[in-house]
Amino acid sequence: MCVSLSNGTVASIAPMVEYHLKVKPIVYKYVGKDENTGESFEFFMVKSIKQDSKSYNVVNENDEWVCDCPSFKFRSGTDVHGHCKHIRLVRFLLDKKVEIEVISGD
């Protein structure tokens, strides 16, 4: 698969994209159902490339991207949209139509 990384805005997520494509997937899509309401929900799980046991959840709520990492929470290292690298990574993969493995919570 050929994904161009020449665009400067994606430079900061380049190592993560490379890792996802060439080493092993670090982004998964989790699809589940709320036990109480029966409503289905989905979010993206982004694993840290430095610590395998660490992962962050990225979710799109009403067209707003939210991540549960400290960077997003404290708005440090985020871009002009307030997006951390995890959100940028997920959006990049979606934009490039990179296949993301789906994990079912059922």
| Interface positions with Zn ion (CB under 5 A) | 56, 67, 69, 72, 84, 86
- Residue 30's H or E segment, with its range, is strand 27-33
Question: Which one, 40 or 70, has the nearer CB to Zn ion?
Answer: 70
When the beta carbons of 66 and 98 are compared against Zn ion, the nearer one is: 66
CB 13 within 8 A of CB 88: yes
CA 95 to chain centre: 12
CB 84 to Zn ion: min, Å = 3
- Shortest CB 57 distance to Zn ion, Å: 9
Q: State both tokens at 21.
A: 């494509």
